[in-house]
Structures are given as C-alpha cells and as structure tokens.
Structure 1
Amino acid sequence: MKSNRRNFIKRSSLVLGTGLIANPFIAFPYSKKDYTVGEIMDLFIAQVPRAPFPQTVDTLKSGKKDQVVIGIVTTMFATITVIRKAIELKANFIIAHEPTFYNHLDETAWLDNDPVYEFKRKLLDEHHIAVWRNHDYVHSLAIDGVQAGVVKELGWEKYYNQNAVLNLPETTLGNLITHIKAKMNVPALRYVGDLSQKVSKVLLMPGAAGGRRQIEMLMREKPDILICGESPEWETPEYIRNANEMGIKLGLIVIGHSASEEGGSEFMAEWLRSTISGIPVFHIPSGNSLSVE
C-alpha cells in the first residue's frame, strides 16, 4: 500500500504542475475490496504539501476511522436534510467542508442536552454515519481545490492561473452578477459599485477569508472587482464604498458562503470518483440556510 501511495502522489504532483483544473488528478483509481474511512482520509491528505497538519479542524465529527465505507456523500454542510439523503442512498461517509455542530472547532460540550444538537447526533450515531470535515486540507492542495472547483462552476477555466486573480473579457458589474446568479443558481447577490462599471480583472476569494485579508489583497492586486463569499459589513464592503466615494472604480460581489464554495465539494466528489473504485459517490448541495424575498 505504501508503494502504491508513493506512486499516486508522484503522478498527482506531475498533473498539479500542469495547471489543469477540470480534473487536476489523473484517473489512476485504487481497486481493492474494502476501504475504511481512515484509508480514504489518508489518501487525500497524502497529496497535501506538508501534511498532515499538527493542528487542524479537519477531524472526524462522527463515526470511526476503521468503519468500512459503502457510499460517500460530499457537501458543504452536513445538514439534517443531507444526512437523511445519505441514509436513503445507503451512504455511510459524509465529507463536509464546513462545521457540523455550529462552531469552527465543532466543540459540543456547550450543546449538551440541546434538542437540535441531540437530534442530529442521534441521527448520525443510529445510522453509523461518519462525518469528516475537509476544509484545511482541500484549501492547501498545490491548487486550492475549492477555488478550482468554483472556477470550473463559473466556466472560467481558461482564465485561471492557479491564483486568486482572473483576467476576464471586459464586461460590466451588472453582467457579471447575472452570470454568477445563473451559474451558481443563486436568486440574489449583494454588491457594492456601479452596475455599469467596466470590469475585467477579478479577485476571486470564495468563502470568508476575513476583511483584513480581503483588503490586503485589494491593495496588492488592484482588481476591478472582488468576488467573495462573505464579509462583515463594517470591513470590506465599507472599504469599497469609501473607495467609490473617492472616485475609484472598484466593485464587490458577495455571493454568500455556501454558494461561493459549493464548487469545492463538487471538486471533492470528482477526486473521489477518479481515485477510488467500487464505491458510489454522490454530491448533494446543502444549499443556503438563509432565504431572500
């Protein structure tokens, strides 16, 4: 097994170096009778530079590493709806990108005796479902797996050069909003700027990198627009509003955290299908917890 893993890592690193993102991993699937949760986790982690990490949120939230996997679901959030769908599909391993129990570290002592937490925990335990959060590792691949998945979802692969900046054909802020809404299936987007503003240089930062990081990237890259998952209103949106008040043409599109990183979970499903044979893999979008009217 160690020899196979070394060969796989070597092949993967060669492909990663090409910059191809439609599927950054050559399909050399392992073929064996059974896989455990821990073996699948280890196969993915083995490709991440400088991994395993001594401190990470990417731990098992339920289940055991030695349980045999009969089906896998990838998703952003392991919601109760997603768990129930996994049960229907006879999948006993959920790989989620975000927390399962409402805080970054998935600490649960403070939730003891809470009916929402207890219901979810019982549902996972009764059906022997393992949940692994893959956040730090997928973001730390030689090509950020979430960013690559989002670029593919938006149809921007030919403009992508393995970093956060994309140079698109010139369009307007309004047209960009229309494109993102259609490709990501989101009903509404929040934005700052003039809808008729011409844009070409895009800074793409899915998820929630934090206001300071977003602003530092704006200062360094000087794009026409920042597209992000979310940002506190008093940080990046206020900075960009002030820039516009000064006469600087700078736009912001806030997609929402879930929609902005869903492509990363699709990326994970593709990796599983190209790497592991004999186990059904399903991607189930968890959707946004917030609705708009």
Structure 2
Amino acid sequence: MQHMEKEESTHPQWGRRTFITNVMKTAGIAALLKVPGLTIAAGKQPLPNTYTVKDVIDLILREIPNAPFPNTVDTLKNGNPDQKVTGIITTMFPTVKVIEEAVKRKANFIIAHEPTFYNHLDDKNWVPGSSVVKEKEALLNKYNIAVWRFHDYWHAYRPDGIGYGVLKQTGWLQYWKPGEVTVHIPARPLQAIASHLKRTLGIQQVRVLGNLAQSCSSVTFLPGAAGGQTQMRFAEQEKPDLLIVGELHEWETAEYIRDARQLGHKTALIVLGHSVSEEPGMYWLQEWLQPKITGITVTHIPSGNPFVWI
C-alpha cells in the first residue's frame, strides 16, 4: 500500500487501517449508550457564546482519548487559532464548492476529515508552484476561513467517529458487536446489498466484483482508504461473504478478490468511493458537536463524489 501509507495516520495507534479493528476491541456497550448525548467532561464549564477557533478545537479534544497527540496531521491548515468563529462547517474534503457554500452561510471555520491541499501532510510544495494550491489558499484567505483537519482524532474517538457514523447511516449499527471486525447482517443477495448501500449512502453507482445473486451475511466494512494490505488481510482473516471498501488500488485488492473467487473462495467486493464511504462520519460529527456549542450553528456540507458516470 504505497500511496495509502502516506494517507495513514501519523499517530502510531490511529489511522484508517485501524478503523473498525481498534474501535470494536475497545468500545463497549456502555460507550454506545452514552454516544448520542455526550457532554463536556464533568467539572468543566461550558464555553461562552463567543468562540475562537482554538476554543472549538480545545472543546473537541477534551473528549478524545489521549489528546493532544504528539504527532498528527490534525493541524490548522489555514486561518488563525484566535479568530472568532461565525459558523462551523463539517465535511469530508474542503473543496472549493464547500468553501463557497460556507461563505454563503457566513461560516468561517471548516472542520474537514481529509486534506485541503491534495496530500496527506498538506504540504503546499508537494507539487512545486501549483497554481491550484495558490488559488485555493487565496480563496480561503479572501474570506478569512480557517480549516482544521479532523482525521486522527475522530478515528481515535470511542467509538470511531467515522465508523459509527457510517454504520448508523446504513442502518447496520444494530448488527455491530464490540470486539468484532465483521458485521453480521440478515442474509441478502449481493445485488440487494449494493442497492441498499446506494440508497442509504446516497451513491449514484458502486463497483461490484462477484455473483450478484450470491447470498451475503458476513460483511467486513472498511470505508475510506485502508489500503490493499489491510483489505486483503481482513479478507484472509475474516473470510467474509462480502468485503466493502471505500477506495482501492485496482492492481491490489481487486485482482486479489478476482483470483480468489476463480480459485473457489466466496468473498465478493463492493467499492463505494472514498469520499462517500466516510461522509456519514462527518455528518455525525455535526450531530455530535452542535449540542456542545451554544450560539454557533454547526452545518454539514457533503463534499460528495468527484466523479460522474457516462
């Protein structure tokens, strides 16, 4: 997983590859019961109606285990920590359209799960002299918009913020058992599961590898970009009826599943797309954060799928 390693968390414990694994190992039933109404830690007074970017970040980090991390990509990518917040936007990718919509909503703080400047570390010189990077930075500065990446910390939350949001959106949260990496749903044909995912996640099309009539019950769900090595490792260990991923390297996991099926193995594959596979986790962030913020509106704006099918 060469490229995906660059997208993985720089914090030693938390990255996409640990998505459901670490969550299910540590999240208990009590944690799930507390999720919808989590409040600021006992003994801490609510912040005033006026917040700076730093105030909001600190409020969030108080509820992340072991935060702040010594090494993380979750840093401020644009803006000033001391600027007053007029509104908060949650999203997957802080695209130009998301920025423009934030301006319309008079919101100046974007919390994004993925990079702003097209590489894991948000290195603006990753491609030297990039005109797109310069223009995007100028757009953010024009409207005084702060952007904070919320990747490592949201995966480190209990339960994993992305994983919980995705399972909640698909309606599969009821089948999730702490300690398990595979969700066991009522048996349904592969085609029916694909249709269910399209409908619940708002995806126009998905890619499928397998017999559409095949009955599937055990489902290993790895949204985002877990990488070929992790995806194949789960397929080997869990031997699920179905492996669902966000994105993949076609020369890795897709070829592995194709050969495996031709050799008599049963695991099918559904590829959702990176952004749409994790977006529900950032929508849940909006639900999670809004009750903790008074006087400031938190809005989720989906960055959506960058592709169209013709």
2:217 is the alignment partner of 1:200 = yes
Q: Secondary structure at the match of 2:110?
A: strand
2:243 is the alignment partner of 1:223 = no
For 1:267 and 1:240, the matched residues in 2 are separated by: 32
2:291 is the alignment partner of 1:274 = yes
2:115 is the alignment partner of 1:99 = yes
- C-alpha deviation, 1:19, in angstroms: 2.0
Q: Name the residue aligned to 1:42.
A: 58
- C-alpha deviation, 1:198, in angstroms: 0.8
List gaps (5 residues or longer) in structure 2. 1-25
- C-alpha deviation, 1:263, in angstroms: 0.5
Matching residue's letter, 1:183: T
For 1:212 and 1:247, the matched residues in 2 are separated by: 21
2:181 is the alignment partner of 1:181 = no
Instruction: Kindly indicate whether the alpha-carbon contact (under 8 Å) linking 2:27 and 2:159 is maintained by their aligned counterparts in 1.
Output: no
Q: Name the residue aligned to 1:240.
A: 257
Instruction: Kindly indicate whether the alpha-carbon contact (under 8 Å) linking 2:235 and 2:267 is maintained by their aligned counterparts in 1.
Output: no
- TM-score for both structures, normalised by structure 1: 0.90
For 2:271 and 2:128, the matched residues in 1 are separated by: 35
- C-alpha deviation, 1:274, in angstroms: 2.0
1:30 to 26, 46, 49: 46
Greater shift, 112-121 or 152-161, is seen at 112-121
Q: Secondary structure at the match of 1:292?
A: coil
Deviating 4+ runs (over 4 angstroms)? 13-16, 26-29, 110-113
Instruction: Kindly indicate whether the alpha-carbon contact (under 8 Å) linking 2:166 and 2:278 is maintained by their aligned counterparts in 1.
Output: yes
For 1:21 and 1:190, the matched residues in 2 are separated by: 36
For 1:16 and 1:265, the matched residues in 2 are separated by: 22
> For residues 80-91 of structure 1, what are the structure 2 equivalents within 5 Å?
80-91=96-107
Q: How many residues align?
A: 281
Q: Secondary structure at the match of 2:229?
A: helix
Q: Secondary structure at the match of 2:225?
A: coil
Instruction: Kindly indicate whether the alpha-carbon contact (under 8 Å) linking 1:70 and 1:279 is maintained by their aligned counterparts in 2.
Output: yes
Q: Name the residue aligned to 1:53.
A: 69
Report percent identity of matched pairs: 46
Greater shift, 203-212 or 49-58, is seen at 49-58
- When the two chains are superposed, the root-mean-square deviation of aligned CA atoms in Å is 2.1
Q: Secondary structure at the match of 1:212?
A: helix
Q: Secondary structure at the match of 2:187?
A: strand
- C-alpha deviation, 1:110, in angstroms: 4.3
Q: Name the residue aligned to 2:16.
A: none
Q: Secondary structure at the match of 1:95?
A: strand
Greater shift, 247-256 or 212-221, is seen at 212-221
- C-alpha deviation, 1:161, in angstroms: 2.4
Q: Name the residue aligned to 2:134.
A: 118
For 1:78 and 1:14, the matched residues in 2 are separated by: 29
> For residues 112-191 of structure 1, what are the structure 2 equivalents within 5 Å?
113-162=129-178, 163-191=180-208
Q: Structure 1 residues 140 and 27 mapped into 2: Cα distance closer, same or farther (>3 Å)?
A: closer
List gaps (5 residues or longer) in structure 1. 1-12
